[in-house]
Amino acid sequence: MDVKEFRATLGGENPPDGLSVPLQALWWDGKGDWARAHELVDELETRDGMAVHAYLHRKEGAEGNADYWYQRAGKGFHRPALEDEWIALVEGLAG
């Protein structure tokens, strides 16, 4: 599934079946439900989960917390614009 297809699913009430937990979190974030997205990855100890967790804290404005999770994720998903980071995460996780 590419980003365009992923975005098309945001009109639904629930994420499509078969999405990983980090992608489900990005789906809820894409629908504007930050709290639900964060709840999914809050204790997810996988690199992908921690990368999404970092993005969500950055979006929240908690830069120090975001930096901690970026470091734990060990990945360079960080992009200057939040929208670009969301896209990079979706592409990396859905592709």
Which tokens belong to 5? Answer: 């297809």
How far apart are alpha carbons 68 and 8 in whole angstroms?
Answer: 32
Which tokens belong to 9? Answer: 């699913």
Q: Binning pLDDT at 50, 70 and 90, where does residue 60 land?
A: very high
The reported pLDDT for the residue numbered 76 is 67
The reported pLDDT for the residue numbered 95 is 75
**Which tens digits make up the pLDDT trace of 63-80?**
999 999 999 998 666 778
The reported pLDDT for the residue numbered 79 is 77
Containing 43, the helix (H) or strand (E) segment is none
**Which tens digits make up the pLDDT trace of 12-56?**
999 999 999 999 999 999 999 999 999 999 999 999 999 999 999
The alpha-helical segments, DSSP class H, found in 1-95 are: 3-8, 21-30, 34-41, 47-60, 63-73, 82-94
Is the model's pLDDT at 4 over the cut of 70?
A: yes
Cα of first residue to Cα of last residue in the chain, in angstroms, is 6
Q: What percent of the chain has pLDDT over 70?
A: 97
pTM: 0.94
30-58 residues labelled b (16+ CB within 10 A) or e (exposed): bbeeeeebbebbeebeeebbbbbbbbbbb
